[in-house]
Structure 1
Amino acid sequence: MDDAPVVIAGAGPNGLMLACELALAGVRPVVLDRLPGPSDEPKANGLVGQVVRQLDMRGLYRRFSGSQRPPEPVAAWIFSGMTLPLSTVADNPMYAMMVSQPQLVRQLYERALELGVAVRWAHELVGFEDRPSGVRITVASPAGEYAIATRYLVGADGGRSAVRKLAGIEFPGHTAGTVARLAHVRVPDEMRTADGGLDVPGFGRLGFGHTRLDRGGMVYAAFEPDRPMLGTIEFDSSADHSVDEPLTMNELRDSVRRVLGVDLPIGEPRGDGPHALRRIAGQNTRQADRYRAGQVLLLGDSAHVHSAMGGPGLNLGLQDAMNLGWKLAATVAGRAPQGLLDTYHSERYPVGRRVMMHSMSQTALFSPGPEIAALRELFAELLSLPDVARHMAGLLAGSDVRYDVGDDHPLSGRLVPNVTLADGRRVAELLHAGRPVLVRDVVDGPAAMLLRPDGYVAWASDDTGDKGLTGAIARWFGDTLPGV
């Protein structure tokens, strides 16, 4: 029987990010995935929110984005298709990095291999037993079934997670009666506008992103010039389609006609693909009732699913990975303070609830009807107010998250701000190794900060004294005193 300190089921972005975090901390997991290799299926198109800064804290932002500059906040974002202006928001927390999910998976896979992680493609978890001594996993592979013994099993295997189901973890929530259709398409060049939208004969301008209409919603985004994304959202689930048959271009054309009220001449996209062409009948918003059951943990979509509107999915899932990684590694290595691993659920579960709240709110505000149109008009006025914009930016970016770290300094429990040390280094540069750090000599900041490996402040002080520091170190890192 094979063995590994940690086994991760699922080599998507969240599972691979966790694998990298564990390897940085000296624990090399085994990653299993039923697919023969990194998926090319088009899904998410970018990262938004605090996770962009966290990638910078690992030295990955420049590598993944190709930019030689640190990440910079965006001047505006969207909420249910409405513009959220952010140029007046002080310390704007909303960051974005446009990268397709297949590209992100390949980049994280390369990083995992560099760190010595074993990724076993075409190896599928088909069963496990959670025993007092560890977890015994049964794996199906091209060479036949085999077993792995591990201390901990992490399910990063998506919304239909086999790990979650086999662990008996409930997945309560709500299924909306919407039907969404999305595809890469080809549109006539003469219909494209300079600002990234479409000029549709008989309808008018269709802008970039989400557009709410009386009969449903449209999505248009030319992330790639040769194959823009086009989608519809209909709130009448009785619209003619067969849930058992894959989406066709003709079905999408019919849906566009119902929503727009006119025909839109779309064709098959150029290139070999794979191209997006999918239907989501019934939008699930669900969350696991616990992120840990014994020696089994859940991560990313295995723990929570919600609408993709606004792009919160990878922000939430990758931050799950960065929260769990250092805690799980310390537990496996025997250096974790008592109860450390339990803080994964207590910290991340409320964050997932908050994302589902604003995700469902955006779906509700996108629905048809004159009452919703009036509500959107009012909401658009509110979004233009600086205080509301600041609140919404914190909500969508996840920067309003404050963990209970046992310290009452205003920064404690929050992601460390973008500060610079007296020697010119950015605080993000101190966290590349994924280790806890005690920071002093901060320019325009507190006198000292104790940072967790995920970039969250465990303790801070505005004077030169170290009152409370020893307790914070013991609470989060045992007897280890971190240093710059």
Structure 2
Amino acid sequence: MDASVIVAGAGPTGLMLAGELRLAGVDVIVLDRLTERTGESRGLGFTTRTMEVFDQRGLLHRFGDMGTSNAGHFGGLPVDFGVLDSIHEAAKTVPQSDTETMLESWVRELGADVRRGHELVSLRDHGDHVEVEVRGPDGEETRLTAPFLVGCDGGRSTVRKAAGFDFPGTAATLEMYLADIKGVDLKPRLIGETFPGGMVMCGPLGNRGVTRIIVCERGTRPRRRTEPPSYPEVAAAWQRITGIDISHAEHEWVSAFGDATRLVTEYRRGRVLLAGDAAHIHLPAGGQGMNTGIQDAVNLGWKLAAVVRGTAPEALVDTYHAERYPVGERLMTNTKAQGLLFLTGEEMQPLRDVLAELIRYEEVSRHLAGMVSGLEIRYDVGPGPHPLLGLRMPHLELVGERRKTSSTELLKPARGVLLDLEDNAVLRERAAGWSDRVDIVTAEPHDVRPGTPLADTAAVLVRPDGHVAWAAPGSHHDLPMALERWFGPSRIQQS
């Protein structure tokens, strides 16, 4: 085999997956048809959940100062994301180009083999491995083999098409323009601000003097484009809707997109898996697309690594579809709902008014904010009444035998963590057979508020992706059963 895993696509999803694999000691080749990064801003910023994910890998500091905020929206209606339980706010203005630069630097430091200018053109699943045909920058074609191939190659995914994944959904019904422009003074317009002719929004991209604009002219039909629209097209649409001339502005980047909504029926076919936009496309409402792809990668990486290293059975990889497909379905539903709210005309105003009233209730705001941010995600990790089961482990300050630490810091190596909060020697002994894959940590929680899920918790088993797989008291499965389910047989059994 040329690698344990081949990843097609060096965008945020593919690079995050490569980093997760390298943290687990797995060799990975990342293929991308582009010889260099585009530098386009594309997806902006991170949801609260992605901020947590980057924090648990020690990556946040690499971005420098980020503008964060609890202000959000659902379909253009303001929602206070401060009602969520997280130490992080969402980052609003980090361009995707900066995210890709950071992630590529990180994965190269970890030893990932990133091959730019190498395009995957075909694949064949042999049952026990995958063979791919790759065209290099000189046009020469070579073959690579690996036990697994992951398509992170976007909405027009070659991997998805070549492997025969079904991709049902709805085609685009409209076309929207997006542009990053300079040299024009525009007042910020929130998403959802409508005009008789359509919807526009705009806002500054950090402190670079660049303004992001989005234009949706009512009645426009989607076109099959082979290249981006021209800036004069965008400026003309803006003027027709708002009456304001921005044709004199300097444009950095122009693009068009639609409201097509599609989700693969399975995230895995044999030895081929999909993540990010290769698995799901949708209206970019709430900035969820790139963030969901990054979280796909974090869910999948440690599972693939355990299987290719032989410490866990292949069935562990099947939990990727079981856990992330419902997330994809939820994503399709909420982005379509948001599109109806901010892209339709006056006939939708009564519904907007009613929803705006409901959002004033904290429970409704918490529900909508949790949906868009990803904080509502709970995986099925087994029965039990403990409120944290399946959720991501909240940030918890800890006092250990030697130093202060936190639940977030303990996850940086991307290993499992058994957190013993009551100095239980019997518990630690029962987990000893998994200490090659799970860090067993004894510590006291610092300042746990009464009535919170951790207030009466004696121990927690946390997966490498940060989700709670077992907790005491409250899990109906015993600890060894949970350890074997998520981390494979103990080394004592294996020996």
| TM-score under structure 2 length normalisation | 0.86
1-structure distance, mates of 2:352, 2:112:
48
Cα shift at 1:107: 0.7
Which of 391, 394, 399 is the aligned partner of 1:414? 391
Q: 1:350 to 1:238 in 2, by over 3 A?
A: closer
> In the alignment, which residue of structure 2 is the partner of 1:131?
126
> In the alignment, which residue of structure 2 is the partner of 1:177?
173
2-structure distance, mates of 1:93, 1:362:
26
Q: What residue ranges of structure 1 are gaps of 5+ in the alignment? A: 193-197, 199-205
Cα shift at 1:258: 2.7
**Residues 420-471 of structure 1, C-alpha deviations (whole Å, 9 max, x = no match):** 22344221000000000001223422221000000000001149x9971111
Q: 1:244-259 residue pairs with structure 2 within 5 A?
A: 246-259=228-241
> In the alignment, which residue of structure 2 is the partner of 1:122?
117
1-structure distance, mates of 2:62, 2:181:
30
Checking the alignment, whether the CA contact within 8 Å between 2:50 and 2:291 is kept in structure 1 is yes
The amino acid across from 2:58 in the alignment is: G
1-structure distance, mates of 2:479, 2:398:
20
Q: 1:455 to 1:387 in 2, by over 3 A?
A: same
> In the alignment, which residue of structure 2 is the partner of 1:478?
488
Which of 254, 268, 271 is the aligned partner of 1:277? 254
> In the alignment, which residue of structure 2 is the partner of 1:203?
none
> In the alignment, which residue of structure 2 is the partner of 1:202?
none
Which of 84, 88, 99 is the aligned partner of 1:104? 99
Cα shift at 1:53: 0.2
The amino acid across from 2:29 in the alignment is: V
Which segment drifts farther, 128-137 or 27-36? 128-137
> In the alignment, which residue of structure 1 is the partner of 2:42?
43
Percent sequence identity over matched residues?
39
Checking the alignment, whether the CA contact within 8 Å between 1:182 and 1:277 is kept in structure 2 is yes
> In the alignment, which residue of structure 2 is the partner of 1:82?
77
The amino acid across from 1:265 in the alignment is: I
Cα shift at 1:209: 4.6
Checking the alignment, whether the CA contact within 8 Å between 2:216 and 2:343 is kept in structure 1 is no
Cα shift at 1:238: 4.5
> In the alignment, which residue of structure 1 is the partner of 2:246?
265
Checking the alignment, whether the CA contact within 8 Å between 1:94 and 1:393 is kept in structure 2 is no
2-structure distance, mates of 1:242, 1:91:
43
> In the alignment, which residue of structure 2 is the partner of 1:451?
462
The amino acid across from 2:172 in the alignment is: A
2-structure distance, mates of 1:92, 1:379:
25
> In the alignment, which residue of structure 1 is the partner of 2:431?
none
Specify the SS of the correspondent of 2:13: helix
1-structure distance, mates of 2:418, 2:226:
56
Q: 1:152-191 residue pairs with structure 2 within 5 A?
A: 152-189=148-185
Specify the SS of the correspondent of 1:42: coil
Which of 320, 345, 350 is the aligned partner of 1:374? 350
> In the alignment, which residue of structure 1 is the partner of 2:210?
227
Cα shift at 1:184: 1.7
Provide the aligned length of Structure 1 versus Structure 2: 453
2-structure distance, mates of 1:300, 1:238:
26
Cα shift at 1:208: 4.4
2-structure distance, mates of 1:429, 1:94:
15
Cα shift at 1:92: 5.0
> In the alignment, which residue of structure 1 is the partner of 2:33?
34
> In the alignment, which residue of structure 2 is the partner of 1:201?
none
Which segment drifts farther, 359-368 or 180-189? 180-189
The amino acid across from 1:425 in the alignment is: T
The amino acid across from 1:386 in the alignment is: E
Q: Does 1:427 align with 2:438?
A: no
**Residues 53-96 of structure 1, C-alpha deviations (whole Å, 9 max, x = no match):** 011000011222447xxx98x43211122210234x25258731
Q: RMSD across aligned C-alpha pairs, in angstroms? A: 2.3
Checking the alignment, whether the CA contact within 8 Å between 2:57 and 2:411 is kept in structure 1 is yes
The amino acid across from 1:106 in the alignment is: T
| TM-score under structure 1 length normalisation | 0.88
Q: 1:250-399 residue pairs with structure 2 within 5 A?
A: 250-260=232-242, 262-269=243-250, 275-280=252-257, 282-337=258-313, 339-399=315-375
> In the alignment, which residue of structure 1 is the partner of 2:440?
none
Q: 1:382 to 1:434 in 2, by over 3 A?
A: same
> In the alignment, which residue of structure 2 is the partner of 1:95?
89
> In the alignment, which residue of structure 2 is the partner of 1:24?
23
Q: 1:28 to 1:257 in 2, by over 3 A?
A: same
> In the alignment, which residue of structure 2 is the partner of 1:236?
219
Checking the alignment, whether the CA contact within 8 Å between 2:396 and 2:407 is kept in structure 1 is yes
